[in-house]
């Protein structure tokens, strides 16, 4: 360790961290991860599943950490053979990397059939999971359901990266590099220990020669500015009537809250809704689509990611009546309205090229993914969230939602179905995935 490293105040300094290693090909990265965690100041112990030993030997971790890895649920050398309880009490942080689909399923179901899963039920520590698996397994609805369940149970998920996998497939499912995982933890615990500064000074003071990737990730997190549109727009017909829709704004507000929790600087541009402003969010209220477009364009120069979650009215009155339209002033029982098309806010913003990453929402009632893919390509977005608003149990006005995240990787469209969950839990997952996609796009 260099003199610079010794003087570095790491957010992980002195933390008791239990590294769980499960049986995936990415287990080879866990050796590098263990060493990186130690360099960051953590006191590291390792727990291996039986499957992990098929990919990496316990001796490797013993040499790196100076401690024999824990493998067995009942340890005859521990007091009363209850070594798992001792470990559960010892740990402040548990990081499972890689986390296989099997381990995710066990944790989501509350199973405890080996040392690692038993520890997770018995501990009061923060538990972080870094999924790593084949892209088809990651995209499977069961895995996505388990991911959402883990979020609701309080687990912290570090979203997998996209790229070429060991099996030859290309897609999401790769475990992030060890330096990025350490950076993620550093960011979280630096914020937790320095609420007034968001940990900014702590992380910058910990820039060491061996953590270039960590520095890049931390700086991105520090400066990430997200603009989110939410709610409906209202297009006036006369002083008392307007065109609008059933959007409650709940999804956009939940996204804003989730983004703040991830350390982002959030501006929320909202149509007329009856919702409190999430803590830490800058809110701008608008009524019409043109007002919303104007607010978005003003925010764009300082925006890294734009998320268009608002349900913008497609049309507005060509002329707004100065006075209330009277029934008796019309011919017969019909009223003819002359409407003109509203500006497409998200497409206009994407065309400007000022935001580095633009995300749309596609609220559809039929052929949901097909329409969403068309919008993704036609409007030149980086990603789009598709949801079926014809289902009365989700979408407009509901506290729950079920969506599919579509993103572009070169010429390929990647689909990630996210199972039905509360809008708060779903927003946490979406924001994590969108930040991960932004990082990949920004670094490419």
Please answer whether residues 248 and 272 qualify as being in contact, where contact means their C-beta atoms are separated by less than 8 angstroms: no
pTM of the model: 0.55
Q: What pLDDT does 330 receive?
A: 52
Q: What is the pLDDT of residue 211?
A: 36
- Which residues are annotated as catalytic? 167
350, 204: one domain: no
Which of 185, 220, 255 is a domain's end point? 220
10 Å CB burial of residue 73 (0-12, 13-18, 19+) is: middle
Contact 83, 77 (CB under 8 A): yes
Residue 81 is predicted with a pLDDT of 42
Domain containing residue 437: CATH number: 3.40.50.10300
- Residues whose CB is less than 8 angstroms from the CB of residue 22 and which lie 6 or more positions away in sequence, other chains included: 49, 51, 52, 96, 98, 99, 100, 102, 103, 116
Annotation-wise, does 414 bind a ligand? no
For the segment 59-68, the average pLDDT, to the nearest whole number, is 91
Instruction: Let me know if residue 283 belongs to a domain.
Output: yes
Residue 417 has pLDDT above 50, yes or no: yes
Instruction: State which residues form the domain around 374.
Output: 224-319+336-443
Q: Does residue 438 fall inside a structural domain? A: yes
Classify residue 311 by its DSSP letter: B
Whether 308 has a binding-site annotation, put simply, is yes
Q: What is the CATH number of the domain that holds 21?
A: 3.40.50.1950
Confirm whether 143 is domain-assigned: no
pLDDT of 331 reads 61
Predicted confidence at residue 423, as pLDDT, reads: 84
pLDDT value at position 223?
59
Same domain, 118 and 98: yes
How many contiguous H segments (helices) and E segments (strands) does the chain have?
Answer: 16, 19
Flag whether pLDDT at 120 surpasses 90: yes
Q: Evaluate whether 390 touches 365 at the Cβ level (below 8 Å).
A: yes
435: confidence class by pLDDT, cuts 50, 70, 90: confident
Reported as a single tens digit per residue, the pLDDT across 312-325 is 999 999 999 999 88
Condensed to tens digits (0 to 9), the pLDDT of residues 18-34 reads 999 999 889 989 999 99
pLDDT at 288: 96
Reported as a pLDDT band with limits 50, 70 and 90, residue 409 is confident
pLDDT at 418: 80
Q: Are 38 and 179 within one domain?
A: yes
Question: Is 346 annotated as belonging to a binding site?
Answer: yes
pLDDT band at 231 (very low <50, low <70, confident <90, very high): very high
- pLDDT at residue number 77: 54
Where do we find the tokens 């979280």? 188
Number of domains in the chain: 2
Query: What is the pLDDT averaged over residues 384-391?
Result: 85
- Residue 313 tokens read as 């009215």
Task: State what percent of residues in the chain have pLDDT above 90.
Answer: 53
Q: Is 310 annotated as a binding residue?
A: yes
394 annotated as belonging to a binding site for a ligand: no
**Radius of gyration of the CA atoms of the chain, in A:** 25
125-171, pLDDT tens digit by residue? 999 999 999 888 988 889 988 988 998 888 999 988 876 666 777 67
Phi-psi sector, 356: left (phi>0), alpha (psi -120 to 50), beta: alpha
Over residues 232-249, the mean pLDDT reads 92
Looking at 65-74, 197-206, 362-371, which range is the least confident one? 197-206
CA pair distance 419, 354, nearest whole angstrom: 32
For residue 111, pLDDT beyond 60? yes
pLDDT at 8 over 80: no
User: Domain check: are 438 and 293 in the same one?
Assistant: yes
């Amino acid at each position: 360790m260099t003199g610079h490293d010794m003087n570095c105040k790491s957010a992980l300094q002195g933390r008791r961290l239990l590294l769980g290693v499960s049986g995936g090909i990415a287990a080879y990265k866990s050796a590098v991860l263990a060493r990186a965690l130690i360099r960051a100041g953590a006191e590291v112990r390792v727990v291996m599943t039986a499957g992990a030993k098929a990919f990496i030997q316990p001796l490797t971790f013993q040499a790196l950490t100076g401690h024999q890895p824990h493998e067995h649920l009942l340890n005859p050398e521990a007091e009363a053979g209850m070594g798992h309880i001792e470990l559960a009490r010892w740990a402040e942080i548990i990081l499972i990397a890689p986390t296989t689909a099997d381990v995710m399923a066990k944790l989501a179901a509350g199973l405890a059939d080996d040392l690692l899963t038993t520890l997770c039920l018995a501990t009061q520590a923060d538990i972080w999971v870094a999924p790593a698996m084949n892209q088809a397994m990651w995209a499977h609805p069961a895995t996505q359901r388990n991911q959402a369940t883990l979020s609701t149970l309080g687990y912290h998920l570090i979203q997998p990266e996209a790229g070429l996998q060991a099996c030859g497939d290309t897609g999401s499912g790769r475990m992030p590099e060890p330096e990025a995982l350490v950076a993620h933890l550093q960011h979280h615990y630096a914020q937790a220990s320095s609420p007034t500064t968001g940990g900014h000074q702590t992380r910058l003071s910990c820039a060491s020669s061996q953590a270039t990737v960590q520095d890049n990730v931390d700086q991105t997190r520090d400066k990430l500015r997200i603009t989110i549109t939410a709610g409906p727009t209202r297009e006036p017909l006369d002083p008392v009537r307007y065109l609008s829709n059933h959007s409650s704004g709940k999804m956009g507000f939940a996204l804003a809250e989730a983004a703040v929790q991830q350390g982002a600087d959030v501006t929320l541009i909202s149509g007329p809704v009856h919702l409190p402003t999430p803590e830490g969010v800058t809110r701008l209220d608008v009524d019409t689509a043109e007002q919303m477009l104007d607010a978005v364009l003003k925010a764009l120069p300082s925006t890294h990611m734009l998320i268009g979650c608002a349900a913008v009215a497609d049309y507005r009155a060509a002329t707004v009546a100065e006075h209330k339209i009277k029934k008796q002033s019309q011919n017969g029982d019909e009223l003819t309205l002359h409407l003109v098309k509203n500006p497409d806010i998200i497409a206009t913003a994407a065309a400007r090229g000022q935001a580095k990453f633009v995300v749309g929402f596609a609220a559809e009632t039929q052929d949901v993914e097909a329409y969403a893919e068309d919008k993704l390509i036609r409007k030149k977005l980086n990603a789009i969230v598709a949801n079926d608003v014809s289902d009365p149990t989700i979408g407009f006005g509901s506290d729950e939602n079920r969506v599919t995240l579509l993103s572009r990787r070169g010429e390929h469209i990647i689909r990630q179905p996210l199972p039905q969950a509360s809008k708060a839990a779903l927003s946490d997952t979406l924001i994590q995935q969108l930040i991960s996609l932004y990082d990949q796009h920004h670094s490419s």
